[in-house]
Amino acid sequence: MSTPVSLYVYDLSNGLAKTISPFVLGRRIDGLWHTAIVVFGNEYFFGGHGIACCVPGTTQLGPPLKKEVLGLTSVTQDIFEEYLIGYSNSKFHGSSYNLLENNCNNFSDEVAKFLVGTGIDEDIVTLPQKVLNSPMGPMLKSHLEKMSNVAPTDSRNITRSSNTSIPNSQPHSHQHHNNNHHSYSGVNGGVNGGVNGWETSTSSSLYFPCFSPVELTAGDLEAVKEVDPLLHTTILHGPLSVDDLALLCRLYESNCLVFARVTALLAHKSGFIRLALGDPQLYSYIKAAISSSVQAVEELVNNFTAGLNQAERCDEDMVAIVTGFITNALLSTTAGQDSTTCSVNVARGTYNLAGSQLNEDQVFELGGAIIHCLPDNTDNLATDKGSVIKLDLILKSLFLLMIKNRQVAELCTAMEKDLGIFRKIPELQGIVGKIAEL
């Protein structure tokens, strides 16, 4: 399914550049451009804050001066946001922002190429350099940097470094403006040096919960309404009360798969893990849904494990159930190929499980399953962004397990897996280097 991609163009000078540029710069320019990419119902942009997104048109700049349709993309939202997080601690980390060489327009240009195969107007990309190379450029630089520090009124920040606090308890949510889907897609983890904060973390804080985006279809919402006409509103907009937990139990009894998707979505939300742990009936249903070991509950497996870790809660029974689910999923993948065939939700779940409190047997069980699913060569990875994203998460999982028990590294040798082959992939060099340092 293809998704439209648009470019929002703003004039930071509010029309002033067109008037004064002939006198100040010696040439006329139509505006001082800030751009953003709009896709999947979000506006994505880059600045000194890093990469962020918000409801389209809600930045402090107001409505865009121009909206340009760039084309259609077949990239899915979860793959796209993993791609963004991959850049959030590298090329487009907030500290790497540079008005001349690495600004919002460079970001839009690169993202456009990723999504639709072509960049944005070259005149927009090169304008800052032309302005700053003019006789008055050095005097204007500090003023332009302040103007370009665009902030949304209500945003979800895509970046997080180890010394920056980004609240996780109330992630920003949004709804697609159609009648068929309602979605929550908070992103707290990612790839490419990569899961947020990896590159600047100490060895004692190398794990950050990594949630999966969850989408409820019209059919899901109808199933929820059959249980209670108002429950769907509470699920989508909150807050969830203790009384609603009994309704969720009834949902499990009427439709287990819808229950799995709903509780996967709720695992993002503040306080749900605490409520679930305090309700024996609901918690037993969540465990039962995960124990069903069907692909449809992968989001629940991942998000509930991430939620437990984020809440710093450990349940040995739940960890054992999740370990069985994840290892079975990894072992059922096709081994020895030039990509990994597990799903991105299984890759996320593997990473979250590796960040949990595991006993020694679980460490080796999960480690062996991870090594089994690693590809034997990288021939097609350069053009397979989805597999690179999954491999980054899986290699980070392996690294976390090696920290728990260094003998996991010996499993790689025993199973004849050479991790050095992944150095050929730029996005994987960082984590392969960390593994080599152990």
Residue 314 and residue 194: Cα distance in Å, rounded?
25
* Per-residue model confidence (pLDDT) at position 151: 52
pLDDT tens column, 148-198? 555 544 445 664 433 322 222 223 333 333 333 333 333 333 333 334 444
Q: Pick the catalytic residue: 49, 53, 54, 104?
A: 104
Give, as one character, the DSSP assignment of residue 378: -
pTM: 0.56
Residue 52 and residue 109: Cα distance in Å, rounded?
16
Output the six-digit token pair for 297: 């509950």
Task: Tell me the CATH number of domain 181-437, given options 1.20.120, 1.25.10, 3.90.320, 3.40.1130.
Answer: 1.25.10
Residue 343 and residue 296: Cα distance in Å, rounded?
11
Q: Pick the catalytic residue: 34, 93, 172, 182?
A: 34
Share of the chain above pLDDT 70, in %: 78
Annotation says 104 is catalytic: yes
* Per-residue model confidence (pLDDT) at position 172: 31
Reference 432, options 407, 412, 405; nearest CA is 412
Residue 78 and residue 187: Cα distance in Å, rounded?
9
- By the 10 Å C-beta count (0-12 exposed, 13-18 middle, 19+ buried), 139 is classed as exposed
Annotation says 412 is catalytic: no
As annotated, the residues of the chain forming the CATH 3.90.1720.30 domain(s) are 3-143
Tell me, what amino acid is at 301? V
Fold assignment, 3-143: endopeptidase fold (from Nostoc punctiforme) (3.90.1720)
Specify which residues 376 forms β-bridges with: none
| Dihedral of the alpha carbons of 395, 398, 399, 400, in degrees to the nearest 10 | 130
Q: What is the mean pLDDT of residues 132-142?
A: 59
Contact 116, 70 (CB under 8 A): yes
As annotated, the residues of the chain forming the CATH 1.25.10 domain(s) are 181-437
pLDDT tens column, 326-357? 988 888 875 545 455 678 889 999 999 999 98
